[in-house]
Structure 1
Amino acid sequence: MSMRIDPSWTVLKSIEDDYHERCVDLFARPDGTFGFEEFRRDVEDQGRWTATQYYSGKSFGSREAAWDAAKHAVSWIT
């Protein structure tokens, strides 16, 4: 798990690409806001998920708004 994902946040949805090399997590924060982050998994990282962007710093008022933003920001999400 990325250091950019706080342990108090709850992952609501995790979507991987067809090759299982990229992932986007949609999460809820205890304060009622939502966010997302994109990750990659490479051999040199021993298969661990590593955050690739700084999307988790953005805050959205609803799950739907966060998911819509993720779909616009991450090109491989269909």
Structure 2
Amino acid sequence: MSDRIDKSSTVFVSIENPEHDRCVDFFSREDGSYGFEEFRRDTEDGGQWTPVHYYSGVAYLSPADALNAAERCVNWLVHVLTERPELRTRIGLG
């Protein structure tokens, strides 16, 4: 988990792109809010996940709100969710 996602938060879904070099983590906070962050993994970083943006600073009221925002912000995510619709259920949108 990135330093941008508070240690008290719980990541409940992590979705990777087909190339396995980008991912989006969806998480819940202790205050009942939700969020997401996009990460990249590059060879020069030793294969570690590195945050790409500061999306995790925004709080959403529901997993659905976080997902809607992530789909608007992360270009490749819509394609992955179209190919693997079961991931929506894991996010809580079954």
TM range (shorter): over 0.9
Q: TM-score, normalised by structure 2?
A: 0.81
| TM superposition score normalised by structure 1 | 0.96
Structure 1 segments unaligned to the other structure (5+ residues): none
SS of equivalent residue, structure 1 residue 71: helix
Corresponding residue pairs, total: 78
Identity of aligned residues (%): 55
The 5 A counterparts of 1:1-78 are 1-78=1-78
Higher strand share: 1
What CA RMSD, in Å, does the superposition of the two structures yield over aligned residues?
Answer: 0.7
Between the aligned partners of 1:50 and 1:74, the Cα distance in structure 2 is 15
Unpaired runs of at least 5, structure 2: 79-94
Structure richer in helix, relative to its length: 2
If you compute each CA radius of gyration, which structure gives the higher value, 1 or 2? 2
